[in-house]
Amino acid sequence: MINRRDFCKKALLVAGGLAIPLTALEIFNPRRLRAEKSGSGKVRWVFLVDTHKCVGCGLCVRACKIENEVPYDANVTRTWVERYVVTKDGKIHVDSPKGALDGFTSTKIDQGAEHPLEIRNEDIDKAFFVPKLCNQCDNPPCVQVCPVGATYQTEDGVVLVDRSWCIGCGYCIMGCPYGVRFFHPVHRVAEKCNFCYHRISKGMKSACVDACPFGARRIGNIKDPNDPVTKIIMTERVAILKEEYGTKPQVFYLGLSREVK
Amino acid sequence: MVHGEAWTIKEFFVYPNEYIYWTIQIVMYPFMTGLVAGAFVLSSLYHVFGVKQLKEIARFSLVFSFALLPVAMMPLMLHLQQPQRGIEVMMTPHFTSAIAAFGIVFTTYAMIVASELWFVYRKYFVDTALELRQLGDKRTPVQNFRHLLYTVLTLGAWDVGEHALEKDEKAVKFLAGLGIPVACFLHGYAGFIFGSVKANALWMTPLMPVIFICSAVVSGIALCIITYVVTMELRKLIYAWQRRNKPYLPSTEELKSAELHVVTMTTKYLVMFLVLAITLELLDLIFRGYTAVKSWDILRKVIYEKDFTKIFILQYGFGNLLPFILLLLPRLTIRRAVAATLMVLVGVFMMRWNVVIGGQAFSASYSGFMEYVLPIWPHDMETFKEGFFGALMVLLTPYVLFYGLTKVMPVFGLKEDSH
């Protein structure tokens, strides 16, 4: 029969032994994490697209593919340009052949497996181009659904992917309402636009911004009130994409039309 | 080649990066976990609620559920782009993700099933080990191995007195009872993985986990009935052949009547859950049509035009309505029951297909469609893994495991007093 003294001794030993592996875990305080994410930083990267200025040349797409080493001919891209053609019968035609890598070389609308659609000029009510890229959402669903935490948001708001940690389940691709994510054909992990994080964190502009000859794309810091991009966002009428998902996107559009998907 | 390009056909405007990323293996995943959960619930009906008529099939479905368990993980591994990192889901879970719970739920469930099995078979393990021990030095190498195996399986608990066995029974009842909510959670959570994707108009509904559980139970019971009948038919053949030497074995007629009795009872539960599953699915469909939010235009085209055959003919018609009628017609025969349960399995598989593939049949831009072309003959590893043969491999593995398990834990021919 065990006596009281022995029992106490052994109980302490067991409790101590159990505690050792527990020390390997760190209890995070969610408030502290949040503070680190949104509080202290002086930078929050945002993007401004002026759709009036875009001509659909596709130079941004090319620059992006080369800069970020996404295979040139692969049918995936970190950024792309969409063409909208609204005809007099009220129909909306959209296309983005190869993400507009080579611009829009034909007036025919690319319809995938269907035949390209010929639209006569006199039938067109309006037509315009809309560049798309990752919205670096304030409430990113892709970060929420990653089962291993391989995708995360930096202090300055950019969502990144850890290529050495991603298991390639595709849940983030499914979770993004904007369709900006894909599997990198070489690294075989989730891939997305990161505002050229390696460039902007060194004081440069993203490759697409530098490549755009018309100034349709601009990048800025919304926490700096003197930033020209911030000034436009604060004073002019800007729109965001798919507000209904509650993702709080941080790519702002000037001249966004209701037809844009 | 970009992942997904090999089997995706795009129509009209689809975002450049959109492909069918979740393919046949993700159809197999909820289908297989559904079978696991369903088989377990069936066995629990006997152990917890004391449905005596299910006694024969209860032990059987418990072992079968255990055989299906590792297979629920297989399709996930086959679909990952970096399968070697798959273990990180368990090691570094990110708990805001529905998938991160997988490790915890799955291992909890596996432990419950394993310990329930142990309590059910403990007496058998002890008896067999003692029997082999008596042989002493006369044991063949195979018998030596079996002796060692069963000795280890007893885990040192040799007491098979009346009192100890009573305790075993209590433990089984407790574990079976605990297992039901965990099994429902395991599968409901598979439904949550889809139901919580706000970016997907077809998937996002709070009904998804409940629909998944109901159809899981339906498919689990259906598969148990089929496998049970097949095993019984084999037994009839074997017994008929062996009866020449061992006249005490039950006759074919005896086996047949017992078999019909079990099958009739089990199909009643099948029909019950089937009604529940269909009701919920139709509620979801009606609700979407009635509320007609922004996504309804494209969903309507997918449901009533693109996928009409898959949804209304294969799933609801062939997979639900027809077996429903077949099972409710009077004077049920084994043959009719098997035909109906096979149809039910097709129906549940099509339901998974229509959810997983159907959810990717339209672009997030709501202005284009994607079609999935299942790769049959593989021309590389990817088209094998996420093609017909990969799925077939997943489908056949539980039977191989089941065969192996029954070598250690026979599901038939145990003495009457065991449960």
The fraction of chain A above a pLDDT of 90, given in percent, is 84
Residue A146 neighbours by CB distance under 10 Å: 27
| Average pLDDT over chain B, rounded to an integer | 90
- List, as ranges, residues 58-77 from B with C-beta within 8 Å of A: 76
Which of the residue ranges A73-87, A180-194, B52-66, B283-297 would you say has the lowest mean pLDDT?
B52-66
| Average pLDDT over chain A, rounded to an integer | 93
Q: How far apart are CA B295 and CA A26, in angstroms?
A: 43
| pLDDT value of residue A250 | 97
Residues 6+ apart with CB under 8 A from B130: none
Residues A78-85: what's their mean pLDDT?
98
Q: Which candidate from A75, A167, A176 shows the least CB-CB separation from B80? A: A167
Distances (CA, A) of B34 to A156, A245, B61, B184, B291: 43, 30, 13, 9, 30
| pLDDT value of residue B417 | 44
Distance from CA of A188 to the nearest CA of B (A): 6
Q: Is there a contact between A75 and B18 if contact means CB atoms under 8 Å apart?
A: no
CB < 8 Å to A141, chain B: 198-199
| pLDDT value of residue B416 | 46
pLDDT digits (tens, 9 = 90+) for B331-381: 889 999 999 999 999 999 999 999 999 999 999 999 999 999 999 999 889
| Runs of H (alpha helix) within A146-220 | 171-175, 197-200, 207-211
Residue in chain A lying closest to B98 (CA):
A145
List the structure tokens of A69.
């080493």
Residue in chain A lying closest to B89 (CA):
A148
Q: Is there a contact between A76 and B86 if contact means CB atoms under 8 Å apart?
A: no
CB B369 within 8 A of CB B14: yes
Q: Is there a contact between B17 and A170 if contact means CB atoms under 8 Å apart?
A: no
| pLDDT value of residue B128 | 93
Q: How far apart are CA B22 and CA B3, in angstroms?
A: 10
Does residue B415 have a pLDDT over 80? no
Q: How far apart are CA B95 and CA A168, in angstroms?
A: 17
| pLDDT value of residue B419 | 45
For tokens 């609308």, the residue is: A109
Residue with the larger pLDDT of the pair B357 and B37: B357
A176/B contact by beta carbon, under 8 A: yes
List the structure tokens of A122.
């006199």
Q: What is the bridge-based pairing of β-strands B8-12 and B368-372? A: antiparallel
A198/B contact by beta carbon, under 8 A: no
Q: Is there a contact between A95 and B13 if contact means CB atoms under 8 Å apart?
A: yes
Residues B76-93: what's their mean pLDDT?
93
Residues B153-170: what's their mean pLDDT?
92
Q: Is there a contact between A96 and B16 if contact means CB atoms under 8 Å apart?
A: yes
CB < 8 Å to B371, chain A: 113
Q: Which of A190, A179, A183, A196 is nearest to A241 (CA)?
A: A179
Does residue B392 have a pLDDT over 70? yes
Question: CA dihedral defined by A256, A260, B3, B6, rounded to 10 degrees?
Answer: -150
Q: Is there a contact between A177 and B80 if contact means CB atoms under 8 Å apart?
A: no
Q: Which candidate from B86, B199, B294 shows the least CB-CB separation from A167? A: B86
A246/B contact by beta carbon, under 8 A: yes
Angle value at C-alpha B205, between B201 and B210, nearest 5 degrees: 145
Q: How far apart are CA B56 and CA B250, in angstroms?
A: 15
Residues A150-162: what's their mean pLDDT?
96
Q: Is there a contact between A149 and B99 if contact means CB atoms under 8 Å apart?
A: no
Q: What is the bridge-based pairing of β-strands A251-254 and A45-50? A: parallel
Residue with the larger pLDDT of the pair B112 and A36: B112
A245/B contact by beta carbon, under 8 A: yes
CB < 8 Å to B1, chain A: 185
- List, as ranges, residues 287-346 from B with C-beta within 8 Å of A: 294
User: Which of B29, B82, B306 should we substitute to test contact with A (largest number of A Cβ atoms within 10 Å)?
Assistant: B82
Give the number of C-alpha atoms closer than 13 A to the C-alpha of residue A115, restricted to the C-beta side: 3
For tokens 């432990």, the residue is: B111
Q: Domains of chain A by range and CATH?
A: 138-191 (3.30.70.20)
Say how many Å lie between the first and final Cα of chain A, rounded: 76
| pLDDT value of residue B383 | 92
CB < 8 Å to A245, chain B: 198-199
| pLDDT value of residue A106 | 93
Q: Which of A195, A192, A170, A189 is nearest to A181 (CA)?
A: A192
B80/A contact by beta carbon, under 8 A: yes
Q: How far apart are CA A111 and CA A96, in angstroms?
A: 9
Q: Is there a contact between A111 and B12 if contact means CB atoms under 8 Å apart?
A: yes
Q: How far apart are CA B113 and CA B220, in angstroms?
A: 15
Q: Is there a contact between B2 and A76 if contact means CB atoms under 8 Å apart?
A: yes
ipTM for the predicted complex comes to: 0.88
CB B180 within 8 A of CB B48: yes
Residue with the larger pLDDT of the pair B54 and A261: A261
A152/B contact by beta carbon, under 8 A: no
Does residue A28 have a pLDDT over 70? no
Q: Is there a contact between A244 and B2 if contact means CB atoms under 8 Å apart?
A: no
Q: How many CB pairs under 8 A join A and B?
A: 149
Residue in chain A lying closest to B356 (CA):
A174
Residues B380-393: what's their mean pLDDT?
93
Angle value at C-alpha B190, between B185 and B193, nearest 5 degrees: 120
B88/A contact by beta carbon, under 8 A: yes
pTM: 0.87
User: Which residue type does A254 have?
Assistant: L
Domain range summary for chain B, segments of one domain joined by +: 24-196+381-413, 203-356
| pLDDT value of residue B288 | 95
Q: How far apart are CA A121 and CA A125, in angstroms?
A: 9
Say how many Å lie between the first and final Cα of chain B, rounded: 55
Distance from CA of A79 to the nearest CA of B (A): 9
Q: Is there a contact between B200 and A174 if contact means CB atoms under 8 Å apart?
A: yes
User: Which of A174, A176, A181, A248 should we substitute to test contact with B (largest number of B Cβ atoms within 10 Å)?
Assistant: A174
Q: How far apart are CA B196 and CA B114, in angstroms?
A: 31
pLDDT digits (tens, 9 = 90+) for A103-121: 999 999 999 999 999 999 9
